[in-house]
Chains A and B, each alone.
Chain A
Amino acid sequence: EPEVTQTPSHQVTQMGQEVILRCVPISNHLYFYWYRQILGQKVEFLVSFYNNEISEKSEIFDDQFSVERPDGSNFTLKIRSTKLEDSAMYFCASSSPWDEQFFGPGTRLTVL
């Protein structure tokens, strides 16, 4: 069964450093998403991506964040100048237009 994959599973970084989180969505899906979940809190929408551009983004998704689809399979989230409060699980998801979103296993980001 096709699945969304994410790498790395755990990323530890120093405050102020840049990190890139990687995702491989399900191959025939057209919509891609990034979510964040701080430990013990709700899932928060960051951004959705369709047709090689951002379709929606939340207030959280400020200039510190960027997304890219560098090739036909990968979908990346870049966080510049990480802060302590960026520590969270980051989930990638993908979907076809009308169906449910399928989530990857997540990347646990720890900012020290």
Chain B
Amino acid sequence: GQNIDQPTEMTATEGAIVQINCTYQTSGFNGLFWYQQHAGEAPTFLSYNVLDGLEEKGRFSSFLSRSKGYSYLLLKELQMKDSASYLCAVRDSNYQLIWGAGTKLIIKP
């Protein structure tokens, strides 16, 4: 079966750095996406990795290792507005997005 695992909840301090991990087992791989979702709102796109390595986008970076079935999202200089759920999703061989359950990130002052 297809499976995406990420921690259920993480807590971090404003101004700090946090790393959210995602491991996946899917039938085929055509890219990995990270989305941010605030409560009651739609997911919004953060990053996309299809090749191994690190993609940096301002305060957010995402890393992929296809051989390990592993990705992480790194958030730097945390702000209170970063409190949200972070969703890892993998596009499989049918180009269907398989979603993780999301990691709820709580930022404390």
Contacts and interface: CB of A to CB of B under 8 A. Distances in A.
A87 B31 CA distance: 31
Given A42-B100, A42-B102, A103 B94 contact: no
B41 A105 contact: yes
Contacts, number: 40
A43 B41 contact: no
Nearest to B50: A98
A102 interface: yes
A42 B42 contact: no
A25 interface: no
B44 interface: yes
A103 B33 contact: no
Interface string A51-65: 000011000000000
A104 B44 CA distance: 9
B24 interface: no
Contact of A106 (B42, B94, B98): B42
Interface in A69-112: 91, 100-106
Given A100-B33, A100-B48, A45 B43 contact: no
Contacts of A41: 101
Interface in B54-109: 87, 89, 94-102
Contact of B43 (A48, A55, A56, A103): A103
Contacts of A104: 42
Contact of A91 (B42, B94, B95, B101): B42
Contacts of A33: 97
A104 to B, nearest CB: 6
A44 interface: yes
B28 to A, nearest CB: 13
7 contacts: A42-B101, A43-B87, A43-B99, A43-B102, A91-B42, A100-B48, A103-B43
- Minimum-distance CB pairs A-B, first 7: A103-B42, A42-B101, A100-B45, A43-B99, A56-B96, A103-B43, A106-B42
